[in-house]
Chains A and B, each alone.
Chain A
Amino acid sequence: MIKATSTSTTRYTTQRIGFGLLTAMTLFTVLPILAVVIYILVLGTPAINGEFISGFPREGMRAGGIWPAIVGTFYLTLGTAIFAVPLGIGAAIYLSEYAPENRWTRLIRIAIINLAGIPSVVYGLFGLGLFVLFLQFGTSILAGSLTLSIMTLPVIISTTEEALRAVPQAFRTVSISLGATKWQTIRRIVLPQALPGTLTGVILGLERAAGETAPILFTVAAFFLPRLPASPLDATMALPYHLFVISTQVPGMPVKIQYGTALVLLAFVLGMNFIATTIRSRARARRQW
């Protein structure tokens, strides 16, 4: 490369232009995200105060707080976790530790990919058809949580499976050779090692559940309820639906409250995202194998 020929100069010019283009594209992808987050942060922060967080909506939701929506989203997320976490981790364990390489297992994988791809509003239809109408749960936290948990399953399964597979085979061999049963090996050796990855998957799945609106439209969401839900069979307000309602349905809604609600929802979701990514990168840094 000492004698730079003219062709190599053009080659490097192409490279420089190409790299510049890719950098620009990446910036175009990433900067709007930052802009959105910062924009909502700036316009939403003035709305945040004690009453906004812990109060009930007043004056046709144009004043007061969003506490019932926060509580509703919390319950829904929790309900989703109760159903989706055991099932998701179970499925991941099956796929990584038990499943033989046969046609059925391939079918399971295709099914998971499909679950991940089904439009969220179709989950809403399904929840309406099965839980609300057929099983007669009514529009309730139970129906909504079940719908959301099926939607989050694929995320939890695939991340957990990845984490389980990353645990070296030698760990299992040693444990089994010391006389432990397969389940003992999984529970005492494999699962603890895969815990950070599993947690990341669970949180990312729940994050999606917390932020979704379409699946809860027909299964849980209430426009306005002057009280907190009293049982899993109650309908509830929820943050994403509340934001949809106040940004499209209520006349003369103060912009401040809209941005405030957007900020709380964003904080809820991004907070979970942050926890998930932190757990993952910490675990990567600490991994001994």
Chain B
Amino acid sequence: MTRRRLAITLLGLVVVVLGSLAGNIVAGNEPSLGLDLRGGVSVTQEPVGEFDSESLDLAVERIRERVDSLGVAEPEIIRQGDAIVVNLPGVDNQDDAIELVKVTGEVLLRPVLLAQVVDGLDPTTNGVSTTVAQTPTTTVAQTPSTTDAQTPTTTVAQTPSPTDSSTTLPGGPARPITASSVADSTPTTTTASGLSTTTASGLSTTTAVTETGGPPGTEAPSAEAPVPTGIPDPSDRAATVLAQNADGTEYYQLGPAFATGEVFKGDARADIIGGGWGVRITLRDGATGADLWNLGASRCFVKDTSCPTGRMAIVLDGVVQSAPSVNQPSFTGGVDITGSFAESEAKQLARVLRSGALPVRLQVQAVQAVSPTLGGDSLRAAVISGLIGVGLVLLFMLLYYRSLAVVLIIGLVVSGALQWSVISLLSRTNGLALSLAGVTGIIVSVGVTVDSYVVFFEKLKDELKVGRTLRNSAERGFTSAWRTILAADTVSLLAAATLWWLSVGSVRGFAFFLGLSTLCDLIIAWFFTRPTMLLLARSNFAVGRRILGIGKSVLTPGGSA
């Protein structure tokens, strides 16, 4: 190693560390604090019974959507194995929190009693021809292979599409709403802001909707009676509920569900049907499948009072994914849902139907609430006592290793800056939160970093004692110390990796910070300690000094003074 290369290595590290530090400060990244440090509610849910992983993914997406729509600052939604952990900092009412994250994953099939398009939409935006108000955009029809005799014709419109999880805000891109039986909508009663995707609870009352309604051919007697005065729970199958579609362009009043998504087999797939994208799905046989479906379908087909619009809404967690009209009274085997779907919309609908066929039933397993004052106290205490502890260690090192300890202290500072940068960056990009376990891990990791130095310094001492020059000792000492450090750190990394993969909860957070600080230790040892010490050993500075507190007397082995 030439002096030049060592200097470049050292300089490189300093530049990288200072650069990332400055970058993070300029970008305003800061480590975000975990629940136990700033208060909030954490809810852990786990699926019970049979489920498939796609349904679980969808459930996580739904939770994220709902949490995002509420505007909780820095929510953390983590999948740990099958469990879903939702951390909501700053939320102090745990019942609200539980309500927020409770998604059923259950797809309900409900008759549409009333449908209303939100005003101000430009129907031409998506290139679907919508000249006639009654132009069908989505239909449910028998899968052709099994039904030549049946005529797929009728329909009503729909807002095609569950969009992906990103938008829940009303006023998004306009959708082809055609059917809209409600021409004379009164937007005042259904201001978009009142409606989050979570529930329709924001809608002022039923009456408001019924007034706006008056859809042709719908006397809607059922619409008035069954609506409860309170806020209807969208997961209550027997209730008449209010809902909107995923992008908030259409509102619905929905009757009691006649079936769940479990009438279908889990084989829904997006396909090109009759020239456009649609979804093809197979019905289960028997009383829990085709029979249930046909019961509802026949009612909608004849547009009796329980399904005056003739449309059947596919509802997931209170959000209407699609509301196709039914164009035949009875189905055998397969069902096709067609309309003006984009490919991605069809795929999303297929996904919803697949997960609805085997819904994931989440159960709240753990709820943890930490009051903000308690969290803040813990943080302050941890930081202050941590700093005092580290100060004591440094004082001890300074007494023991004298001037060499300065290298150690600078090394710790560099390591701290590096860790701060990484944690800040990950807080911003991956929603990492620093928990109490993490803080403790970092404080303890100071011990590990100090130990690397101690191992090195002790080896250096050994080499010096045998009578080697400082320069030679530094090189040999580092080589053997590096081997030791590498071996020991590998064990720590193994521990961190195993715990991270296999455990849940706070242990997992701890494992992350253990791994991070161990990596930092290795980086500091190789890129900071090595060049610094080797350069120092060659410089005139160290020559002739009582470095390491070693007197000259021991420099000859076993020799007499």
- Are both chains from one complex? no
* A residues adjacent to B (C-beta < 8 A): none
